[in-house]
Structure 1
Amino acid sequence: MSHSSVPAGRKPRAKLRLTPVERKASIALALLFAVRMLGLFLLTPVFAVAAQALAGGSNAAKVGIALGAYGLTQAIMQIPLGMASDRFGRRPVIVGGLLLFIAGGVVCALTDDINGVIIGRTMQGLGAISAAITAWVADVTRPEVRTRAMAMVGGSIGVSFAISLVASPLLVGSYGLSGLFWVISALGLLCLLIALFVVPDAPQGPVAAMQARPREVLGHAGLLRLNFGVFCLHFILMSIFIVAPAMLMRLGGYASDSLWEIYLPIILLSFVLMVPAVFYTETRHIHHTSLQVAVAGLVVVLALMPLASQSFAAVAVLLVGFFISFNILEALQPSLVSRTSPSDLKGLALGVYNTAQSLGVFAGGAVGGMLAAYASMQTVFLASSALAFCWFLVARAGRQDNVSA
Structure 2
Amino acid sequence: MNSQEKRTAFSLATVYAFRMLGLFMILPVLPLYTDSLQDVTPFLIGVAIGVYGLTQAAFQIPLGLLSDKIGRKPVIIGGLAVFAIGGAIAALANDNIYLIILGRAIQGMGAIAAATMALAADLTREENRAKVMAFIGMSIGLAFMLAMILGPLINSWTGISGIFWVTSMMALCGIILIRYTVPTPATSFSHRDAGIISGYLKPALTNPSLLRIDLGVFLLHAIMTANFTVIPIILRDHLGFEVINHWKVYLPVFVVSFVLSVPLIILAEKYRKIKSVLLISICLLIAAQILLASQFTMLEPMLLGFLLFFVGFNFLEAVLPSLVAKYSTVDTKGTAMGVFSTSQFSGIFVGGVLAGTISMVWGISGVLILGGILASLWLLIAFSLPIPQFYKTKVIRLHARFIKTPEDTSRALLLIPGVKEVSIAIEESVAYLKVESKELDNNALKIYSS
- TM category (shorter chain) comes to 0.7 to 0.9
Tell me whether 1:65 sits opposite 2:47 in the alignment.
Answer: yes
d(CA) in 1 for partners of 2:327, 2:125: 15
Secondary structure at the aligned position of 2:188 is classed as: coil
From the superposition, tell whether residues 33 and 340 of structure 1 become closer, same or farther in structure 2 (CA, over 3 Å). farther
Aligned residue in 1 for 2:110: 127
From the superposition, tell whether residues 24 and 365 of structure 1 become closer, same or farther in structure 2 (CA, over 3 Å). same
Q: CA deviation at 1:168?
A: 0.9
Name the % identity: 36
From the superposition, tell whether residues 334 and 172 of structure 1 become closer, same or farther in structure 2 (CA, over 3 Å). same
- C-alpha contact (below 8 Å) 1:154/1:333 kept by paired residues: no
Aligned residue in 1 for 2:83: 101
d(CA) in 2 for partners of 1:401, 1:276: 20
From the superposition, tell whether residues 189 and 346 of structure 1 become closer, same or farther in structure 2 (CA, over 3 Å). farther
Aligned residue in 2 for 1:205: 189
Higher mean alpha-carbon deviation, 100-109 vs 327-336, is at 327-336
Aligned residue in 1 for 2:244: 257
Count of aligned pairs between the two proteins:
385
From the superposition, tell whether residues 34 and 207 of structure 1 become closer, same or farther in structure 2 (CA, over 3 Å). closer
Q: CA deviation at 1:349?
A: 2.7
Q: CA deviation at 1:392?
A: 2.4
From the superposition, tell whether residues 271 and 111 of structure 1 become closer, same or farther in structure 2 (CA, over 3 Å). same
d(CA) in 2 for partners of 1:140, 1:326: 32
Tell me whether 1:47 sits opposite 2:34 in the alignment.
Answer: no
Q: CA deviation at 1:260?
A: 1.6
From the superposition, tell whether residues 379 and 316 of structure 1 become closer, same or farther in structure 2 (CA, over 3 Å). same
Aligned residue in 2 for 1:364: 351
Which one has the bigger helix percentage?
1
Instruction: Choose the corresponding residue for 2:153, options 166, 170, 175.
Output: 170
Aligned residue in 2 for 1:237: 224
From the superposition, tell whether residues 355 and 62 of structure 1 become closer, same or farther in structure 2 (CA, over 3 Å). same
Aligned residue in 2 for 1:195: 178
Q: CA deviation at 1:257?
A: 2.4
- CA displacement 1:311-368 (0-9 Å, x = unmatched): 1111112111212222222222233334544454455333322221121111111111
Q: CA deviation at 1:271?
A: 2.3
From the superposition, tell whether residues 149 and 399 of structure 1 become closer, same or farther in structure 2 (CA, over 3 Å). farther
Aligned residue in 2 for 1:11: none
From the superposition, tell whether residues 254 and 213 of structure 1 become closer, same or farther in structure 2 (CA, over 3 Å). closer
d(CA) in 1 for partners of 2:380, 2:136: 27
Unmatched runs of 5 consecutive residues or more in structure 1 = 1-17
Which residue identity does 1:351 align to in structure 2?
G
Aligned residue in 1 for 2:20: 37
From the superposition, tell whether residues 173 and 343 of structure 1 become closer, same or farther in structure 2 (CA, over 3 Å). same
Tell me whether 1:291 sits opposite 2:275 in the alignment.
Answer: no
- CA displacement 1:5-64 (0-9 Å, x = unmatched): xxxxxxxxxxxxx6665555344433322221111000000110035332123x100111
Tell me whether 1:184 sits opposite 2:199 in the alignment.
Answer: no
Taking structure 1 as the reference length, the TM-score comes to 0.86
Q: CA deviation at 1:191?
A: 2.3
Q: CA deviation at 1:280?
A: 5.1
Secondary structure at the aligned position of 2:312 is classed as: helix
Which residue identity does 2:189 align to in structure 1?
G
Taking structure 2 as the reference length, the TM-score comes to 0.78
d(CA) in 2 for partners of 1:335, 1:136: 21
From the superposition, tell whether residues 53 and 252 of structure 1 become closer, same or farther in structure 2 (CA, over 3 Å). same
Tell me whether 1:25 sits opposite 2:8 in the alignment.
Answer: yes
- C-alpha contact (below 8 Å) 2:191/2:334 kept by paired residues: no
d(CA) in 2 for partners of 1:352, 1:177: 32
Tell me whether 1:158 sits opposite 2:145 in the alignment.
Answer: no
Instruction: Choose the corresponding residue for 1:224, options 211, 222, 227.
Output: 211
Which residue identity does 2:156 align to in structure 1?
G
Higher mean alpha-carbon deviation, 112-121 vs 157-166, is at 157-166
Q: CA deviation at 1:85?
A: 2.2
For the pair shown, which has the larger CA radius of gyration, 1 or 2?
2
| Superposed CA RMSD | 2.7
From the superposition, tell whether residues 20 and 302 of structure 1 become closer, same or farther in structure 2 (CA, over 3 Å). farther
Instruction: Choose the corresponding residue for 2:373, options 360, 364, 386.
Output: 386
d(CA) in 2 for partners of 1:389, 1:138: 37
The aligned runs of 1:220-369 (5 Å cut-off) are 220-279=207-266, 281-284=268-271, 286-369=273-356
Tell me whether 1:78 sits opposite 2:60 in the alignment.
Answer: yes
Aligned residue in 2 for 1:7: none
- C-alpha contact (below 8 Å) 2:118/2:191 kept by paired residues: no
Aligned residue in 2 for 1:115: 98
Secondary structure at the aligned position of 2:295 is classed as: coil
Higher mean alpha-carbon deviation, 257-266 vs 267-276, is at 267-276
Secondary structure at the aligned position of 1:53 is classed as: coil
d(CA) in 2 for partners of 1:290, 1:24: 36
Higher mean alpha-carbon deviation, 339-348 vs 113-122, is at 339-348
Higher relative contact order (CA 8 A, sep 6+): 1
From the superposition, tell whether residues 89 and 335 of structure 1 become closer, same or farther in structure 2 (CA, over 3 Å). farther
Q: CA deviation at 1:77?
A: 1.0
Q: CA deviation at 1:207?
A: 9.4
Which residue identity does 2:294 align to in structure 1?
L
Aligned residue in 2 for 1:89: 71
Higher mean alpha-carbon deviation, 348-357 vs 134-143, is at 134-143
d(CA) in 1 for partners of 2:325, 2:71: 19
Which one has the bigger strand percentage?
2
- CA displacement 1:148-200 (0-9 Å, x = unmatched): 55444444333222111111111000001111110111121222233333344
Q: CA deviation at 1:245?
A: 0.8
From the superposition, tell whether residues 226 and 42 of structure 1 become closer, same or farther in structure 2 (CA, over 3 Å). same
- C-alpha contact (below 8 Å) 1:108/1:121 kept by paired residues: yes
